[in-house]
Amino acid sequence: MNGLVVKTINFMGDGLLAAKDNEGIIWIGVKSLCVGIGLTRGQSNGEVAKIQEDMVLSRGCTKFRAGVFEPNNETLALQLDYVPLWLAKISITPNMRKNHPELVERLVNYQLRAKDVLAAAFLLDRKYWKETRQEAKKNRLLETNAIKEFVAYAERQGSQHANMYYYHLTDLANKAAGTTEGRDSADIKQLNNLTLIEHIISEVLRDSMAQEKPYKEIYLDCKERIEQFRKIAYLSCPAKKKPLPERQP
C-alpha cells in the first residue's frame, strides 16, 4: 500500500503500531495489541490465526510487508473498526479473573478505550464519530435478532409475556452503559460500552439456548454477566471515577 502514515501510539504505556493508508483506513498491528494486553507469544499467534479464520474479522485484516510494522517480518493488521469486535471475542473466563486479574484489567481497558485513543492519534474528524454511532446501531440489530430468537424460545417453553424481554434486555444494556436517553445522545465511550454489553447479551442468549437452559435462567445469566462487566469496568460506581492503572489522557 502506498501513502502509508505509520505511527507508534502510546496507550497505557504500550507502543501500539498503526498505519493510515491513502484511503483514510487505519490499520493496527495485531501482534502489538497482543503484546500490550499481555498475551504470550503462543496466545498471540493463536489470535492471529483466529482473526484470519473468523468469518467477519477476516474481512477487515490484511498482511503488510516486512518493514511496515516490523523490520524483518510480514505483519497481520486489523482495520480499526474491527478492533473492538476482535477484543470482545477474547473471553474473560473465571480462571482468568481469579489467577490473572492484571491481565483481565488490561484487556478490559483495551476493550473500552483502545479504539478511541488510536483514532484520536490520527486526528479523525466528526465523520468518525458519526460512523461509530452507525456501527453501534448495526450491532444493535444483531442483538435484536438474538433477542427475537430468545422470545420465540421462551414462548415454546410456556412464557406468557415473552415479548417483554425486548424491553427488559434492552433496559439492562442501556442502564449498564449509561445510555438511558438514547443512542443519539450517547458519547463515544457509552457507545463502545453498549456495543460490548450487547455483544455479551447476544452470546449468552445463543450459547444458553444451544444448551437448552430454562428461559428464566437464561435471563438471569444475562443479568449476572452484565453485572460482572459493570464491576470490572467500574461502570457500577461512576461517581467515584476511579482511574485504572496507567490511564492516559
Segment 64-75 mean pLDDT: 89
More confident of the two residues 96 and 203: 203
On the question of pLDDT at 50 being above 90, the answer is yes
The pLDDT assigned to 202 comes to 94
Q: How far apart are CA 55 and CA 162, in angstroms?
A: 31
The pLDDT assigned to 241 comes to 35
Contact 221, 208 (CB under 8 A): yes
Percent of the chain with pLDDT over 90: 41
Segment 116-133 mean pLDDT: 67
Least confident of 21-35, 85-99, 154-168: 85-99
Instruction: Identify the band that residue 181 occupies on the pLDDT scale cut at 50, 70 and 90.
Output: confident
Least confident of 16-20, 218-222, 232-236: 232-236
Segment 96-110 mean pLDDT: 84
**Number of Cβ atoms within 10 Å of the Cβ of 185:** 9
pTM for this prediction: 0.51
Sheet with 61-64, edge to edge strand ranges: 5-11, 14-20, 26-29, 75-79, 61-64
Q: At 5, list the grid cell.
A: 502514515
Q: At 168, list the grid cell.
A: 427488559
Residues in the chain, how many? 249
Kindly report, residue by residue over 128-145, the tens digit of the pLDDT.
557 777 777 888 888 999
Contact 244, 109 (CB under 8 A): yes
Instruction: Identify the band that residue 165 occupies on the pLDDT scale cut at 50, 70 and 90.
Output: very high
Segment 39-53 mean pLDDT: 92
Q: At 167, list the grid cell.
A: 424491553
SS3 annotation, the chain = CCCCEEEEEEECCEEEEEEECCCCCEEEEHHHHHHHHCCCHHHHHHHHHHHHHCCCHHHHEEEECCCCCCCCCCEEEEEHHHHHHHHHCCCCCHHHHHHCHHHHHHHHHHHHHHHHHHHHHCCCCHHHHHHHHHHHHHHHHHHHHHHHHHHHHHHHCCCCCCCHHHHHHHHHHHHHHCCCCCHHHCCHHHHHHHHHHHHHHHHHHHHHHHCCCCHHHHHHHHHHHHHHHHHHCCCCCCCCCCCCCCCCC
Segment 190-201 mean pLDDT: 87
On the question of pLDDT at 246 being above 70, the answer is no
More confident of the two residues 117 and 45: 45
Segment 228-239 mean pLDDT: 68
Segment 45-72 mean pLDDT: 92
On the question of pLDDT at 151 being above 80, the answer is yes
Alpha carbon distance, N-terminus to C-terminus of the chain: 31
Instruction: Identify the band that residue 239 occupies on the pLDDT scale cut at 50, 70 and 90.
Output: very low
Q: How far apart are CA 126 and CA 171, in angstroms?
A: 28
Query: Nearest to residue 196, comparing CAs of 228, 168, 165?
Result: 228
